[in-house]
Structure 1
Amino acid sequence: MKILIIEDEKDMRQNMQATLEKENFLVEPVATYKEAMSKIGVYDYDCILLDIGLPDGNGLEILKTLKEKGYSDSVIIVSAKDSIDDKVHGLELGADDYLPKPFHMAELNARVKAVLRRRKMEGNNLLEIANVTININNHQVSVDGESLELNRKEFDVLFYLCTNQNRLVSKSALAEHVWGDYIDQTDNFDFIYSQIKNLRKKLCDKNAEIEIKAVYGIGYKLLVP
């Protein structure tokens, strides 16, 4: 699950990043309006934490851009601005939630998970496909009720494919979503092949009734045979 933090205050940004990374989220932090616009122009995120007061621009303009792209419902406004007008305007632009500073990191974590549940799983904590169950809250997977041990990347790959069931997911989209934008510096996708290979074996060993099908030269598709 990939999260973008748009926050100019360094200590706050680092605390938010550390908190969410402890929950095994892939986090990308930026500090300026320009950096944020560059990110959202290229990448998709499961949740965006948006500070309104940025040093080089208004965060609400970022929200307008996200609304045009159809992603504003994944945004939590995180801002010291506590005026009713700012809150109402942000929600009218499609923001999912508004978290005024200061706040406890536990509250931030809870709000992020709530947005992810609503966006990906329509309010449910569990995603069930055939005999496979994925618990988004504790990052656990089970097959026929029996626990399936996955590392963080294997879990992220499986969850991303499951939330895109029967859709062809390109190798580049999968890599960018799970590993972040550093993949721009790589020449191949060997790291994806390795994770997919291990994940397939673990699913097969547990007799999971789902299949990760490779589409040669393009990517992968999760199917229920």
Structure 2
Amino acid sequence: MKILIIEDEQELAKDMMKFLASEQYLCEWAFDFEEAMDKISAYEYDCILLDLMLPGGDGLSILNELKELNKQDGVIIISAKNSIEDKVKGLKLGADDYLAKPFHQAELAARIESLIRRKHFNSSNIIHHNEIEIDLQAKTVKVQNQFVNITKKEFQLLLFFVGNKNRVLSKSALAEHLSGDFADMFDNHDFVYAHVKNLKRKLKEAGYGDYIKTIYGTGYKWEQ
């Protein structure tokens, strides 16, 4: 799962990135309004952590831009401004939640997990797809009730596939999901092929129903 932190307090942003990386999230950081606008225009995120007060602009304008672009990224406002007015404005503009500074990292992680469950998996911690069981909190996968040993990247891929059932996902979209804006630095997407191949092999050996289909010349699709 990919997260964008829009925050001008450098130490706080670094602390959040370190903690969320330990929770197996892929994190990117935007320091100011201009950088944040560039990122939300170019990429998609499972969750955006948004400070309201930024150099060069404000978070409410970013929410407006997300609305104009018809983006579906989940947004949690994180701000020292704790007034009811700011909270109401943000929620009316499309934010999903509001967390006032200072906060505990464990609470932040819980809010992110809750948002992702609501948006992608009908508020459930355990995702069942026929013979597959995915535990979002424990970050484990079972097939036929047997644990499958998969890597962090493979777990991210599996969630991305299951959360986008019956949609064709291009290799560039998968590359962005796995590597964020670093995906633009790769000459090709061979690493995506390697991760998908390994994930398919491990799931197939465990006895899953071969749901990941290759769409030649385009990418892949999880067929329900």
- Bin the TM-score by the shorter chain: over 0.9
Counterpart of 1:21 in structure 2 is 21
Secondary structure of the corresponding residue to residue 133 of structure 2: strand
CA-CA distance at 1:217 after TM superposition: 1.5
For structure 1, list consecutive stretches of 5 or more residues without a partner in the other structure.
none
- Rounded Cα–Cα distance in structure 1 between residues aligned with 2:196 and 2:55: 42
Structure 1 residues 2-38: Cα deviation after superposition (integer angstroms, max 9, x where no partner): 0000000011111111111111000001110000000
Counterpart of 1:114 in structure 2 is 114
Please, what TM-score do these two structures have when normalized by structure 1?
Answer: 0.96
- Rounded Cα–Cα distance in structure 2 between residues aligned with 1:24 and 1:73: 19
Counterpart of 1:166 in structure 2 is 166
Matched, 1:63 2:63: yes
For structure 2, list consecutive stretches of 5 or more residues without a partner in the other structure.
none
- Rounded Cα–Cα distance in structure 1 between residues aligned with 2:73 and 2:177: 18
CA-CA distance at 1:210 after TM superposition: 3.4
Matched, 1:210 2:210: yes
Structure 1 residues 82-107: Cα deviation after superposition (integer angstroms, max 9, x where no partner): 11111111111111111011111111
Structure 1 residues 148-192: Cα deviation after superposition (integer angstroms, max 9, x where no partner): 110001111111111111111000001101221111111111111
* Contact 1:157 1:178 survives alignment (8 Å): yes
* Contact 2:78 2:99 survives alignment (8 Å): yes
- Rounded Cα–Cα distance in structure 2 between residues aligned with 1:32 and 1:39: 11
* Contact 2:213 2:222 survives alignment (8 Å): yes
CA-CA distance at 1:70 after TM superposition: 3.4
Please, what TM-score do these two structures have when normalized by structure 2?
Answer: 0.97
CA-CA distance at 1:65 after TM superposition: 1.1
- Rounded Cα–Cα distance in structure 2 between residues aligned with 1:60 and 1:72: 16
| Number of residue pairs aligned between Structure 1 and Structure 2 | 224
Counterpart of 2:138 in structure 1 is 138
Structure 1 residues 56-112: Cα deviation after superposition (integer angstroms, max 9, x where no partner): 101100011112233466100000011111111111111111101111111111111
RMSD between superposed Cα atoms in Å: 1.2
Secondary structure of the corresponding residue to residue 208 of structure 1: coil
